[in-house]
Structure 1
């Protein structure tokens, strides 16, 4: 499949994005500010009917921008690789309205599991995915692709996991249809270590423009 093929699905298995989770803002100036919303248990169920409604996969094309209207996300995307330690790299924390995608894996809209990650906050306050945990099943995610197309996804579930219980295969494993994962920090919070886990959005392709 080449650089932008879905052969990278398996390569990221076992990788977490805990590097996103320092909680820099809450560790400094955000002491009295509200914490980011966390998904409820009601949003963590993927219905069987939803599994049948994915659109056919699109040709590989790198993404340029992600939009999630319900939580007012409209952000450019940069390519992410793996660190020397084997963890997923993260966008520069100083750029609060910036997300990244795992460019050695599936491109968003292509058959397989595409990965997008971004910070929940930085030292100045909320960042690009601060409200990711407030999403609801059925919400829309749009990804602008470099070939001029727009991949449209529907949210199937929003879940939160402790770092020690992060389900690598469920989140990063290969998929037989076009799927998207959007990941940021979440779960419990400690001033000494930051956030203790991750919020993960599961979505599938419904169409393109």
Structure 2
């Protein structure tokens, strides 16, 4: 089971939830299952796009430019996050930016020495752009929603889940610092959609 890591190195397990999206059944299908074969033939799959492996992210509205690391999960199942406060990380086992589905990029809000790369993420507004660059090109996403979620109310599947169009989700810590957990009490989640060319 995937868990979202905290923003501090000693963080406990955490996951996140989106209030405004629904997801298909959690039923597991085998390759021979009729439902899977039907889905493959579904016309909506003709709209599937190829994504890019992100190398850099820029957010002009808040002056962010950061190298994008490719990380997965830790041994305990938590989503891995950068060791430094200047970098962000793309969840590599998930969707690529530009693919149908939600690609996830995480970054720290602060560190021991002060503000981190996503310190001003909460200042974003609907319509602000996020630019993702990789060897295969550049993509522009536009913010359409944002929420801060308490750790206990989190649902990882809604953040990392499939969508019929490309989306990018940015995640960082928010709320008060919980010394017992070694992390902040909430996660700020920014939802963005691909700007069609």
Fold shared by both chains (TM-score > 0.5): yes
Find the partner of 1:151 among 135, 139, 158: 139
- Higher RCO (Cα < 8 Å, 6 or more apart): 1
Aligned twin of 2:168: 180
Aligned twin of 1:53: none
1:74 correspondence with 2:62: no
What TM-score comes out, normalization by structure 2 length? 0.75
Gaps of at least 5 residues in structure 2 are 12-18, 22-46
Aligned twin of 2:115: 126
Aligned pairs for 1:15-54 (under 5 A) are: 15-18=3-6, 20-21=7-8
Q: SS of the counterpart of 2:162?
A: coil
Kindly state the Cα deviation for residue 168 of structure 1 after the two structures are TM-superposed: 2.0
Runs of 4+, deviation exceeding 3 Å: 21-24, 190-194
- CA–CA distance in 1 between the matches of 2:133 and 2:48? 15
Per-residue CA deviations over 1:56-82 (Å, capped at 9, x if unaligned) read: 664232111001111111001000111
Kindly state the Cα deviation for residue 189 of structure 1 after the two structures are TM-superposed: 2.5
Q: SS of the counterpart of 1:164?
A: helix
- CA–CA distance in 2 between the matches of 1:150 and 1:57? 17
RMSD between superposed Cα atoms in Å: 2.3
Gaps of at least 5 residues in structure 1 are 1-12, 25-43, 47-55
Find the partner of 2:88 among 99, 112, 121: 99
1:195 correspondence with 2:180: no
Kindly state the Cα deviation for residue 14 of structure 1 after the two structures are TM-superposed: 4.8
- Note closer, same or farther for the CA distance 1:57–1:74 as it changes in structure 2 (3 Å cut): farther
Q: Which has the larger radius of gyration?
A: 2
Find the partner of 2:75 among 84, 87, 94: 84
- CA–CA distance in 2 between the matches of 1:155 and 1:199? 13
Q: SS of the counterpart of 1:67?
A: strand
- CA–CA distance in 2 between the matches of 1:57 and 1:69? 28
What TM-score comes out, normalization by structure 1 length? 0.71
